[in-house]
C-alpha cells in the first residue's frame, strides 16, 4: 500500500501508475481447430513478440502463404515475420527433438536467433510419450483422444514435482542426469514395461543443452522489460476453451489451461497489461475424439462439412466430428474469457447449404440451462434449441468487404454478435492469408 507523505498525499510517482495494455490474446472458443493460426498470422504483422503460454507440440496451427504451408506445433506462428520474436513461456512443455525438427521443417530464416525459451518450461521426454501411448491404449473405448505426445504425463511430472525443466538442462549436467535417472525409475515403478536407454538419452540431451542454451532466458523479466519498452505482444493460446483442464468437459480435456487464465500463469504477466482478447470461432463446430456433442450431425450434412472443411487433424490426421454452430457453448466460453472481439473462420464452408441451423440454448431434464454442463453425461442428455437461418448458396471466397457478403451470410454473422454481445471483427472465407474480411 502507498504510504502518505507528511502532507497526507500519496506520492505522485505511485499515484500516476500508467496502465499500458500492450498484450493481445488470441484464443479458441470451441473444441480447437478453429483456425487460430491464420488469425495469429494476421495480427502478428504488427507484433514485436509472439508468445505461446501453454500446451506443447500437441497443438497444430496451419498458416498458408501463397504456395508455402507452415505447420506449427510448438513455435509461435508469428515467427514467420522476420521482425517478430517468438517466446515459449514457462507454461509450455517442450519436447526438444520435436522443437528442433519443427525449426528444420519450416525453414524460416534465422529462427533460432529470434526464439526465446523460458528456463522454467518443463521438458517432455520420449519416456512421457511412451507412457502417454500406454495410458491411452489402456483406456480402450473410453479413450480421451490424446495425441500421445507426452503432454499429460509431463504436466503430471510437473505436479508431482519430479519433472525436469529447461533450467535443469542448461545447468549442472551431473545433477540433470541424476534427476533424469530418478524420473525414469519413478515411471518404471508404475509402468515396468516402459523401456528407456538412460545413457543414450543423456548423450542426446547433452547435445541439446548446447543447442538450446543461447535461446534460454528468464522470461518473466524479459516480458516485463518488453512491456516497459512498449513492445507489442501477441499471445497465441493452443487448443481451446472447451478443452481447458478446468473449464472443459473433463476428462475429455487437454492438460493445461487454454483459456485466459493460462496466459497469466503461462507467461508470468499481470492481468492489467492485457488489452484485447480475441476469440476465434469456426462457423460450425468440430470435435476430435469421444464425448458428448449436442449439435453433432451424423448425416450427409456432417459429411459435407467434414469434406468441404477438410476436417482432419494437422498433428494426427484423425477425422473430426462435425455439427452446427453451438451458441450455448460460446456464451459459456465468453463468460470465462471476456472476449473484446471475435473472428469467425471458415464461413466459406457453409456456402452450399440451403438452410443452416444454429444451436442457441440447452435444456437439461426439461429445464433451460444458462451454462455449459460440467459432466459429459449431462452434455449427452441436453436438448438443443435451434434457430434455422436461410443459407446464401453462393461463393464467399473472393469477398473482401463485409458489405459485399450475401445478405444471409451477413445475417449469420450478426446472429452470432447478437447472441454473444461481442463484435465480430474478422470473417474468414478461405484458407489463404488474404482470405479474410476485416469489419471496421
Cell numbers at 366, concatenated: 426439461
How many CB atoms neighbour CB 124 within 10 A?
30
Q: Which residue in the set 24, 38, 111, 294 belongs to the binding site for ligand GTP (CB under 6 A)?
A: 38
Q: Which residue in the set 314, 335, 360, 369 belongs to the binding site for ligand GTP (CB under 6 A)?
A: 314
Stretch that binds ligand GTP, among 55-63, 85-93, 102-110, 215-223 (CB under 6 A): 55-63
Strand positions, DSSP E, 190-317: 216-217, 233-236, 274-282, 285-287
How many CB atoms neighbour CB 322 within 10 A?
26
436's enclosing H/E stretch is strand 436-438
* Contact call for residue 36 and ligand GTP (CB under 6 A): yes
| DSSP bridge partners of 386 | 359
416's enclosing H/E stretch is helix 407-420
23 annotated binding-site participant: no
How many CB atoms neighbour CB 326 within 10 A?
28
Of 196, 122, 172, nearest in space to 152 by CA: 122
Q: Which is nearer to ligand GTP, 32 or 78 (CB)?
A: 32
* Contact call for residue 244 and ligand GTP (CB under 6 A): no
CB of 141 to ligand GTP, least distance (A): 24
241 annotated binding-site participant: no
Instruction: Give the contacts of 69 (CB within 8 A, at least 6 positions apart).
Output: 62, 63
Catalytic residue among 158, 282, 331, 419: 158
∠ at Cα 276 (244, 331), nearest 5°?
Answer: 50
Q: Which is nearer to ligand GTP, 22 or 56 (CB)?
A: 56
CB of 220 to ligand GTP, least distance (A): 25
Which residue intervals of 309-362 are DSSP H helices? 327-337
Greatest CA separation for the chain: 77
Of 226, 190, 243, 202, nearest in space to 86 by CA: 226
Q: Which is nearer to ligand GTP, 187 or 426 (CB)?
A: 426
- Residue closest to ligand GTP (Cβ): 428
Of 280, 422, 420, nearest in space to 361 by CA: 420
* Contact call for residue 287 and ligand GTP (CB under 6 A): no
Distance of alpha carbon 11 from its chain centroid, rounded? 42
163 annotated binding-site participant: no
Residues in the chain, overall count: 440
Stretch that binds ligand GTP, among 26-34, 81-89, 249-257, 382-390 (CB under 6 A): 26-34
Q: Rounded to an integer, what distance in angstroms lies between the CA atom of residue 317 and that of residue 132?
A: 18
Stretch that binds ligand GTP, among 82-90, 91-99, 157-165, 423-431 (CB under 6 A): 423-431
* Contact call for residue 348 and ligand GTP (CB under 6 A): yes
175 annotated binding-site participant: no
Catalytic residue among 41, 61, 128, 132: 61
* Contact call for residue 256 and ligand GTP (CB under 6 A): no
Place of cell 506462428: 77
Of 276, 342, 280, nearest in space to 46 by CA: 276
Instruction: Give the contacts of 266 (CB within 8 A, at least 6 positions apart).
Output: 52, 53, 54, 89, 90, 91, 92, 256, 257
Is 401 among the catalytic positions?
Answer: no
239 annotated binding-site participant: yes
57-86 residues near ligand GTP, rule: CB under 6 A: 59-62, 64
- Identify the burial level of 343 via C-beta atoms within 10 angstroms of its C-beta, where 0-12 means exposed, 13-18 middle and 19 or more buried: buried
Q: Which residue in the set 111, 322, 349, 399 belongs to the binding site for ligand GTP (CB under 6 A)?
A: 349
Stretch that binds ligand GTP, among 27-35, 79-87, 123-131, 354-362 (CB under 6 A): 27-35
346 annotated binding-site participant: yes
Is 33 among the catalytic positions?
Answer: yes
CB of 402 to ligand GTP, least distance (A): 14
Where is the binding site for GTP, in residues?
32-38, 60-62, 320, 346-348, 428-430
Where is the binding site for substrate, in residues?
314-320
State the residues that interact with ligand GTP by CB under 6 A: 28, 32-38, 59-62, 64, 238-240, 314, 345-346, 348-349, 428-431, 435
Which residue numbers are catalytic? 33, 61, 158
Where is the binding site for IMP, in residues?
33-36, 58-61, 147, 161, 239, 254, 318
Where is the binding site, in residues?
32-38, 58-62, 147, 161, 239, 254, 314-320, 346-348, 428-430
Amino acid at each position: 500500500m502507498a504510504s502518505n507523505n507528511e502532507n497526507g498525499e500519496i506520492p505522485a510517482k505511485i499515484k500516476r501508475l500508467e496502465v499500458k495494455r500492450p498484450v493481445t490474446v488470441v484464443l479458441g472458443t470451441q473444441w480447437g481447430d478453429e483456425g487460430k493460426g491464420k488469425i495469429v498470422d494476421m495480427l502478428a504483422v504488427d507484433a514485436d513478440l509472439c508468445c505461446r503460454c501453454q500446451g506443447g507440440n500437441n497443438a497444430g496451427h496451419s498458416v498458408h502463404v501463397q504456395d508455402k504451408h507452415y505447420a506449427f506445433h510448438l513455435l509461435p506462428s508469428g515467427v514467420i515475420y522476420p521482425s517478430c520474436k517468438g517466446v515459449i513461456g514457462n507454461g509450455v512443455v517442450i519436447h526438444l527433438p520435436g522443437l528442433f525438427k519443427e525449426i528444420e521443417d519450416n525453414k524460416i530464416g534465422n529462427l533460432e536467433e529470434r526464439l526465446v525459451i523460458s528456463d522454467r518450461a518443463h521438458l517432455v521426454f520420449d519416456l512421457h510419450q511412451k507412457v502417454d501411448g500406454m495410458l491411452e491404449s489402456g483406456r480402450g473405448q473410453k479413450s480421451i483422444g490424446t495425441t500421445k505426445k507426452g503432454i499429460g504425463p509431463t504436466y503430471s511430472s510437473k505436479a508431482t514435482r519430479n519433472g525436469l525443466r529447461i533450467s535443469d538442462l542448461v545447468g549442472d549436467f551431473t545433477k540433470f542426469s541424476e534427476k533424469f535417472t530418478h524420473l525414469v525409475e519413478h515411471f518404471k515403478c508404475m509402468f515396468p514395461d516402459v523401456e528407456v536407454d538412460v545413457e543414450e538419452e543423456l548423450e542426446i540431451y547433452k547435445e541439446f543443452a548446447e543447442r538450446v542454451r543461447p535461446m534460454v532466458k528468464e522470461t518473466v523479466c524479459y516480458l516485463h522489460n518488453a512491456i516497459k519498452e512498449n513492445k507489442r505482444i501477441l499471445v497465441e493460446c493452443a487448443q481451446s476453451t472447451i478443452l481447458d483442464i478446468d473449464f472443459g468437459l473433463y476428462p475429455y480435456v487437454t492438460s493445461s489451461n487454454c483459456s485466459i487464465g493460462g496466459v497469466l500463469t503461462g507467461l508470468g504477466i499481470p492481468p492489467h497489461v492485457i488489452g484485447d482478447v480475441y476469440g476465434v470461432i469456426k462457423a460450425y463446430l468440430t470435435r476430435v475424439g469421444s464425448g458428448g456433442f449436442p449439435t453433432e450431425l451424423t448425416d450427409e450434412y456432417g459429411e459435407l462439412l467434414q469434406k468441404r472443411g477438410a476436417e482432419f487433424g494437422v498433428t494426427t490426421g484423425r477425422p473430426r466430428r462435425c455439427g452446427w454452430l453451438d451458441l450455448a457453448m460460446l456464451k459459456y466460453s465468453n463468460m470465462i474469457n471476456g472476449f473484446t472481439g471475435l473472428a469467425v473462420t471458415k464461413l466459406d464452408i457453409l456456402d452450399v447449404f440451403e438452410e443452416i441451423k444454429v444451436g442457441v440454448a440447452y435444456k437439461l431434464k426439461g429445464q433451460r440451462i444458462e451454462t455449459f454442463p460440467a459432466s459429459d453425461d449431462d452434455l449427452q442428455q441436453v436438448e438443443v434449441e435451434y434457430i434455422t437461418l436461410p443459407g446464401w448458396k453462393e461463393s464467399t471466397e473472393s469477398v473482401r468487404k463485409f458489405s459485399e457478403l450475401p445478405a444471409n451470410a451477413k445475417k449469420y454473422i450478426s446472429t452470432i454478435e447478437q447472441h454473444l454481445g461481442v463484435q465480430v471483427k474478422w470473417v474468414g472465407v478461405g484458407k489463404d492469408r488474404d482470405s479474410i474480411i476485416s469489419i471496421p
